[in-house]
Structure 1
């Protein structure tokens, strides 16, 4: 794909939902650059199999984030689309949560999108166009046990979305895409969905009576970065089969 094709950047874009988002953007004609943290082998496979550009960066380290942004701008140009998808979980009861547990999750899930968007935004504004999609979580809206750090980071991401939508308007649109239960290997393992009784209990809570697929989330991303959402900014789009209806 030539340098004249628009550029999209996806953090955490070589695995799970992030890989589906990267693949969809590639299919829409974007030169798609996926940032990854540590799994170089998976990144190389994604680059080879799906035609992605891959760049290493630790979203929890502001210096690493800003260095990666400088590299992208110098070597690949100004992103037309930025998807802040990368995130980590470190789940423990509140009274057992360490300062490192708190800081690691907040630094990656909330500060990472702040630093990366701030690094790219001036160039996007100068270019006269841009779309930012922050990938949130339902726990940013509804609390759960043993996840105060994760829930706080995703609630903060939603407010970051709204503030950026105000400050970067009218040139750059900023929205929050919030997946519900989505069939990835991580989700299956975390919620033991390979056990029929556990899966049935989850399905009973979802009016659509199915767990979402990564393509369901990619469909929503396609809407948020495309012309049909040209009048949509500062919003949350929850893709969860009706499980929460917020």
Structure 2
């Protein structure tokens, strides 16, 4: 079992709680910082990068507290959820962002490749939401945002495990939107090519030729930024999105028009 390592100062008494899984790096960090900027007390969950967790807590200036948890282990998810509820009450916002990919041709996928990706990307949101949603319903308010991927809508080669997990997450979102209404709104936030180190490395975008190929597929001819994704989250969890539930908001410069 992963030990629970926490960084950041103890939360004050003002501001509602927001929980972000995978909330200390890349898009997840931008989402945590935006929620902190909006006045939330943010519990950013992370798997193992302690340095990133320390940096996230520092950037949060007292509004971000990080908690180490392995999202593939239901007992750890339940334990951190119980701790947050006991210390801070029901979250107003839950963002299921944690995800991994292990890309290989289908015929080369191992049992572990399949199990770990599904356990993190689909079962993780199930366990975290199941642990926190009852308190949110009892509190009479809340918004849940599941961070998806366009490959959950449009398939690609060498990623059947990742695509299947994200497709499942989109339908998980719709089912929750039905069952948790009218108290809790549940939506999917779907980033396209976003300028993060992970995306640049994964798609070889440090190569100018490859980058030009990718940009040529995007009508707006640019990669998204993490701030673009944070802007979309702000809409979904804030007053402007108060009449939106069960939807998928795609932020990709027009690359996918489904």
TM-score after normalising by structure 2 = 0.94
Report the counterpart of residue 152 of structure 1 in structure 2: 164
1:41 to 19, 30, 51: 51
Q: Which residue of 2 aligns with 1:84?
A: 96
Structure 2: tracts of 5 or more residues without a match = 1-10
Quote the offset at 1:140 in angstroms: 0.1
1:67, CA displacement in angstroms? 1.0
Bigger mean CA deviation after superposition, 142-151 or 71-80: 71-80
Residues 5-38 of structure 1: CA distance to partner in whole angstroms, max 9, x if unpaired? 1110000000000000000000000001100011
Q: Find the counterpart in structure 1 of residue 182 from structure 2.
A: 170
Question: Paired residue for 1:55, among 51, 67, 71?
Answer: 67
Q: How does 1:95-134 map to 2 (within 5 A)?
A: 95-134=107-146
- State the SS of the aligned residue for 1:53: strand
Q: Please report how far the alpha carbon of residue 46 of structure 1 lies from its aligned counterpart in structure 2 after TM superposition.
A: 1.0
- Aligned-residue RMSD, C-alpha: 0.8
Aligned residues: 246
Aligned counterparts, 1:1-246, within 5 A: 2-51=12-61, 52-246=64-258
1:49 Cα offset (Å): 2.3
State how far apart, in whole Å, the 2-side matches of 1:93 and 1:196 are. 26
Tell me the CA shift for residue 76 of structure 1.
2.2
Runs of 5+ unmatched residues, structure 1: none
Give, in angstroms, the shift of residue 191 of structure 1.
1.2
Q: Distance in 2 between matches of 1:50 and 1:131?
A: 21
CA distance in 1, matches of 2:41, 2:74: 25
Cα distance in 2 for partners of 1:220, 1:214 equals 10
Q: State how far apart, in whole Å, the 2-side matches of 1:229 and 1:75 are.
A: 28
1:99-146, Cα deviation, whole Å (9 max, x unpaired): 111010000000000010011011000100010000000110011111
- Rounded Cα–Cα distance in structure 2 between residues aligned with 1:179 and 1:41: 25
TM-score (norm 1): 0.98
In structure 2, C-alpha distance between the alignment counterparts of 1:36 and 1:56, rounded to whole Å = 5
**1:47-72 residue CA offsets vs partner (Å, 9 max, x unmatched):** 12223101111111111111111111
